[in-house]
Structure 1
Amino acid sequence: MDEALLDERALSKLRWRCRRGLLENDLFIEKFFDRYAPTLTVGQANALGELMDLADNDLLDLLLRRKDPVGALDRPDVRQVLGMLRTPQAASTGHGH
């Protein structure tokens, strides 16, 4: 996996590519960029791009853990990025309930 950090232009293009028609997906993706944009690598961006090729409902199934990646998407780099996307929304609130 390419460990080079994404430059601003590539990050901007990736953000644009990640815009989704389904609000639920957008919320996951927005939190992902809020958290990881400064440290995203080229390899992670490529894996994210592959996830963005999925239909909205298929992507949402992965994000909500209804399904796991299969076939060409069942790779460590894709699973890593999916794990980053799936990070619980409540993690930053500091509540332990």
Structure 2
Amino acid sequence: MEREHRLKRLRFRAWHRGVKEADLLIGGFFDMHAERWDDAEIELFEALLEEQDVDIMAWAMGTAAVPARYEGTIMNALKTLNYVPISR
């Protein structure tokens, strides 16, 4: 699959999780980081999207241990939480 098409599909999946909080966390993360990912990181993110939102959110917030298969640059960036838009 062409990279641009693959990223477009992933962006849709990242922003349409079914719960607003997950949309903001996962979609915001995708928007901030995806353009810099290599093929391996894209594959890892694709796999991550197959996980339950509550698990992804717990890993990002540090309330649950991250499975070894997701440890690395993507999860470290996800844990920073500096990509979630906060409106007042």
Q: TM-score, normalised by structure 1?
A: 0.67
5+ unaligned residues in a row in structure 1: which ranges?
1-5, 91-97
Q: Which has the larger radius of gyration?
A: 1
CA-based RMSD of the aligned residues comes to 2.0
Aligned with 2:75 (options 82, 86, 90): 82
Q: 1-side partners of 2:13 and 2:27: how far apart?
A: 12
C-alpha distance in structure 1 between counterparts of 2:44 and 2:25, whole Å: 16
Q: Deviations over 1:66-94 (max 9, x none)?
A: 11223xxx13xx2221112222327xxxx
**May I ask how many residue pairs the two structures share in their alignment?**
80
Tell me what 1:69 maps to: 66
Distance 1:8 1:82 in 2: 22
Q: Which amino acid aligns with 2:81?
A: P
CA distance in 2, matches of 1:7, 1:87: 26
Instruction: Percent identity, please.
Output: 26
What letter corresponds to residue 44 of structure 2 in structure 1?
A: A
Structure 1, residues 6-32: CA drift from partner, whole Å, max 9, x if none? 721110011123231122221122322
Q: Is the 8 A contact 1:63 1:82 kept in 2?
A: yes
Q: TM-score, normalised by structure 2?
A: 0.73
